[in-house]
Chain A
């Protein structure tokens, strides 16, 4: 972890499950993906599961994580990471499978896979980055775009009469998942808590209890066109007001 070098300079703590050769990472300045993946990396380290991990990433900005970790990784198609990891886990139950995706991958093009994986209680961990828009394609409306929020396809603000209300993913998953599910919503504005959620989500899979799902509220200053202060305010206040942070389901087995 953190080490003092000869010159007494504090080195950034890089999880050992990260692949240092691919750092610095490819995400935009101010993007929240790096914080989520740092939480995931630390959780993998602390649980000592690097050799069992298969990390799958979706299309969209999440695909930039394809070589992020020093663990077996596969980049799939848009929305199809959930079935790929499901298929792997079904074929080899010793794997710890993580499906990493954005809100478009999880709640739009791959929503049928998320919903049905939840219904079946697939013993995989799904981590979803919610940044209220499609980042990679240039900032279009996503299922999670807040009411009134301006995007490239809602230039006058999201009209809920026309486009509906933002998807509440963890609430949906919690409504359909059988016993043994672990479901939470964390935020990059509280990485300590977020890491705890992700760690529990991995533990829940290791114990074979059921599906584990963590949505992470994240930032996209590039497409939001916000400065640092505005970005943080949007994540901490606007997003957290609509998307309530916390644990929705914890494993019954663990609570005893």
Chain B
């Protein structure tokens, strides 16, 4: 692995998985728990190389269920703990995510999406969008950052720890196999040196530094419907309040656009290039990208769509982003034009080709 450090800003050229490991170090994560699955393996590989040098720990568990729950244990102990997975592993980790939602445990998951359903491919997809935003038997009380490039993988992994520990909702970094395996230039930095104050973790249980503490009893089971209702509604209220503060998006040229290109994650890079090329040709095209796919920038999208005639939705899944969009802009009469390619990458040329058919 490259000899780099977080001292001073450093330009590096590395894979997305390596970036995630460095970002976790930069975010002052204490411990990672993980189970091998492609395409996220190198996050563990780099973390296990970096961890001893930075006084950090790693545990390889027996499966992703265990990886999720050991991570919850680490977080409850007051440590910044995280895990990483993909595909079927993401399915198994939703059980722990549900417990995190109910008990407000600030766990961080890094997801590098692969093809689905089932084992599918180890390469790439955006088919874990529904699972990552709404997995589990709950209400989707979580934060999901959908990254598009390596700088974002670094920035938003650091941000994910802060968001989780600030708002106490499970937080996901939603990448994909292309981002995981591809090499790209980016700038590594120490958040402290940039004046970014990282949120400090606190123990929920077993704070052995405070032997006189009152004992705490945490649970996720309730006796009556009313009792549960109170808890879920309080979490919903907190989530709604949080949503306004964490929601992020990017929009370009939507004010006078006839057609708006709507994408998330790495597909938005193809869309952005298409947008720039089409604008250069004088086409009235817009670009909109949710960075948080949960909470979704619904109001911002509605605003962006006001004058447009068509919303061109392109994704590497069969309508998972589109479903979120349809829900968020309910009531709008804008025509949705889908470009749905489950498990397949989408290029600038393909977007322009589809655009030209409109």
Contacts and interface: CB of A to CB of B under 8 A. Distances in A.
The finding on whether chains A and B are genuine partners in a shared complex, rather than unrelated, reads yes
A69 B71 CA distance: 24
Q: Which interface residue of B62, B81, B207 has the most chain A CB atoms within 10 A?
A: B62
A37 interface: no
B221 A63 contact: yes
Interface string B304-331: 0000000000000000000000000000
Q: Is the interface of A mostly helix, strand, loop or mixed?
A: mixed
A69 B31 CA distance: 29
A84 interface: yes
A86 B215 contact: no
Contacts of A224: none
B69 A76 contact: yes
A72 B210 CA distance: 12
Contacts of A83: 61, 65-66, 68-70, 73
A72 B216 contact: yes
Given A51-B211, A66-B217, A91 B63 contact: no
Nearest to B209: A94
Nearest to B98: A77
B255 interface: no
A86 B70 contact: yes
Contacts of A69: 215
A95 B208 contact: yes
B74 interface: yes
B61 to A, nearest CB: 7
Nearest to B58: A90
A63 B217 CA distance: 12
Interface string B241-271: 0000000000000000000000000000000
Contacts of B208: 51-52, 92, 94-95
Contacts of B207: 72
Chain A contact patch, size range: 35 or more
A87 B62 contact: no
A140 interface: no
B30 interface: yes
A73 interface: yes
A245 interface: no
Interface in B200-246: 203, 205-208, 211-213, 215-221
A113 interface: yes
A75 B216 CA distance: 11
A221 to B, nearest CB: 23
Nearest to B30: A91
A19 B215 CA distance: 10
B76 A74 contact: yes
A67 interface: yes
A84 B219 contact: no
A85 interface: yes
Contacts of B69: 76-77, 80, 83-84, 87
A115 B62 CA distance: 9
B48 interface: no
Given A75-B219, A75-B221, 19 more contacts: A52-B206, A52-B211, A59-B221, A70-B215, A73-B216, A76-B69, A77-B96, A77-B99, A84-B69, A84-B76, A86-B59, A87-B33, A87-B71, A87-B76, A91-B79, A92-B203, A115-B62, A116-B61, A116-B66
Interface of A: 19, 51-54, 59, 63, 66-67, 69-77, 80, 83-92, 94-95, 97, 112-113, 115-116
25 contacts: A54-B206, A63-B219, A63-B221, A69-B215, A73-B205, A73-B218, A74-B218, A75-B221, A76-B99, A77-B69, A77-B99, A80-B66, A80-B69, A80-B96, A83-B70, A83-B73, A87-B70, A87-B71, A87-B76, A90-B31, A91-B57, A91-B78, A91-B81, A92-B77, A95-B77
